[in-house]
Structure 1
């Protein structure tokens, strides 16, 4: 088995700043960033067409480390380091590389998309949104055409942005491919069928379906407070604890609810699916992603996926890619798994994974006739229209509308992991964009 190339970083408490993977583009990038500081954010878009617009600054830039050049180093979520860390994760932790090959074509609209949206009783533009929110990249595409592409805080279209939990949806699509190929026999198989080390454990006796839908019933606290079960799992995965990844997840061995009866968001679920995928496919998730999705969809740049101290990908987070490659992934899902002239993810899997939930379903996150819901490691927006979103804490989002083939990619460095006011504003922006697109 040919393993994907690795980018080895020092341990978390002993960081350095080794070279990024874009060795052949570093000089160009340095010149581009330098020009931004001298001629301003419209250096690449003086005519306001749909080419990328780069800004050397952003909201509250001084607190985000502007004077220090947006430094890279621990801790990950220290405000002055977040811009650098969330675009250079491979300098903080070891990663597996996901190699690109031949890029698929993305065209550019002759003019940049303009949009007005209403939030808290006020009308705003896309630039207003960027002026007030700590967004590192905002990209809007439809079919094969880029409509809007802006970067802030000195970031460029060569930077790879940290996905946080958007990576979960990537894991879910890889599981669908493995089922289609027969590596996994059934979505209703239990995890121990493929991971013998989990035999007899509660997680081992949980179906792949329940793990995908966050309805495993496992008792697992996740409140982002730093002392919950999620923090405990992360420490075990990243510190040289002597535990294998399967031993680490097995520390959580209490079932609070029968599988499939209650939705509860927990990183432990996709982490077990990462083990299932590794064992079933006989290759790492990074290698599987590279051969099954990344190269077939025509990614233009290598991606990276952080691995734990056992060299196992963190299946619930920590994938990094350029904004345009995130857009290609979103466009592939918007076309029900097809892109670059290929059916990449089985169409029926994408449909099953992203169907709106009905009121009263265990996967309905709120009450009402058209509730928010959860599919196969993806968030389902209120229906009946099938629209869904990949989400990560601190503002990582990919909104996807299959009916119009519209995709919005958003990366950010918000200080609050959840319930930030920017979440509500971004949702208002997306809905206005969707209404505008449907009207055309």
Structure 2
């Protein structure tokens, strides 16, 4: 067996990611695909002009910030992958393009590291981590009665979707990525996601959703990851509440949660948030969100139940969803709840995931949260070593704090 335990002298692929140029920010045409501008763009996405021909909405911070205590010393975490044993935090950062890494246990920050000249002041791009925020907004709207039932069809709230592929799909099926609409996401510039984005940039998200015309399965039958499903949920939320997604979550989640910094969300030309991604926040505020979720929506320092407990549990518990959404069935590894990914194993553990390595992992029983923001080489973490190594590092954290699989 081989062991690695060396100090990090440089982050991986610094020059390829633009170090000598000061980690430049890209333009609307290349920010998502060019490695040279990935670090800069993924921490300044809200500043890039012309994206989706839209604007930026701000979620203001809280006047009562959730405190995050700091551990006196960083724990000695050990993790293993393949023949490599007893790897350290430094090893993980030396092997992966991690911009920010945060671990919270029992309300205290155990690990907080940054690479590529990023810092606690940077707002990191969520990519599809944002989808879980849309789900939480749906749960809150159910709680306050703006949405009557997740069995309601989308067209009950967005009449323009009547006669579209999404009109008669229930909110529950949309939450499970089971609309049945034919929609591909390969991130290769020629998939349905690319076409959807082009239409949305010209005409807005609502018209783009109306133009999806083919069905691959009946609603509810199978998991098919489709960002368009989340966009429809965003449209439903806006119509049901009479508020933008940002305004709604600012007053219902971001401020009650105790966010320290403002967050930014990109919109389309009509001011509708691109709810499938495009959310930007600091590493610590992502950590606060994870900490809230580790308590099933309860803010532990104030005792306020910010999110509906029953909804959070149902959204994130693999055992409460049909077999086709279970870990190992929805995908070869993860399962899927309501816009949350569920881990295999006996314990309830779940994840908020975005392409290029954005991750929030939560273990409610251990009160353990890991947040990672990355500039991975490929969109899907599983297409590089990041997928396996992030999982191995997480398992090392779980084991360190007494958990098992």
Fold-level match, TM-score > 0.5? yes
Q: Does 1:352 align with 2:305?
A: no
Cα offset for 1:371?
6.3
Cα offset for 1:223?
1.3
Q: Does 1:229 align with 2:173?
A: no
Deviations 1:201-253 (A, max 9, x none): 22011000000001111111111111111111111222xx2x24221111112
Equivalent pair of 1:213/1:377 in contact (CA under 8 Å): yes
The alignment of Structure 1 onto Structure 2 pairs a total of residues equal to 382
Deviations 1:291-316 (A, max 9, x none): 00100010000000111122110011
Q: Does 1:99 align with 2:55?
A: no
How far apart, in 1, do the equivalents of 2:16 and 2:336 lie? Answer: 35
Distance 1:121 1:359, change over 3 A: farther
How far apart, in 2, do the equivalents of 1:430 and 1:387 lie? Answer: 11
Alignment correspondent of 1:188 = 151
How far apart, in 1, do the equivalents of 2:20 and 2:285 lie? Answer: 30
Equivalent pair of 1:357/1:363 in contact (CA under 8 Å): no
Equivalent pair of 2:204/2:268 in contact (CA under 8 Å): no
Cα RMSD, aligned residues only: 1.9
How far apart, in 2, do the equivalents of 1:309 and 1:233 lie? Answer: 14
Cα offset for 1:383?
2.9
Equivalent pair of 1:358/1:364 in contact (CA under 8 Å): no
Alignment correspondent of 2:222 = 262
How far apart, in 1, do the equivalents of 2:327 and 2:164 lie? Answer: 28
Gaps of 5+ in 2: 1-7
Distance 1:179 1:410, change over 3 A: same
How far apart, in 2, do the equivalents of 1:89 and 1:300 lie? Answer: 20
Deviations 1:157-212 (A, max 9, x none): 00000000000001001100000100000010000111011112220110000000
Trace 1:265-344 onto structure 2 (pairs within 5 A). Answer: 265-339=225-299, 340-341=301-302, 342-344=304-306
Q: Does 1:78 align with 2:31?
A: no
- Could you list the structure 1 runs, at least 4 aligned residues long, displaced by more than 3 angstroms after superposition: 357-360
Equivalent pair of 2:327/2:343 in contact (CA under 8 Å): no
How far apart, in 2, do the equivalents of 1:251 and 1:84 lie? Answer: 33
Cα offset for 1:381?
0.3
Q: Which has the higher contact order (CA 8 A, sep 6+)?
A: 2
Distance 1:219 1:439, change over 3 A: closer
Deviations 1:62-101 (A, max 9, x none): 1111111101122113111111000001111431111102
Gaps of 5+ in 1: 1-54
How far apart, in 2, do the equivalents of 1:374 and 1:315 lie? Answer: 18
Trace 1:22-421 onto structure 2 (pairs within 5 A). Answer: 58-74=11-27, 75-76=30-31, 77-92=33-48, 93=51, 94-102=55-63, 103-123=65-85, 124-238=87-201, 241=202, 243-339=203-299, 340-341=301-302, 342-357=304-319, 361-364=323-326, 366-367=328-329, 372-418=334-380, 419=382, 420-421=384-385
How far apart, in 2, do the equivalents of 1:177 and 1:134 lie? Answer: 35
How far apart, in 2, do the equivalents of 1:139 and 1:268 lie? Answer: 30
Cα offset for 1:365?
5.1
SS, match of residue 362 in structure 1: helix
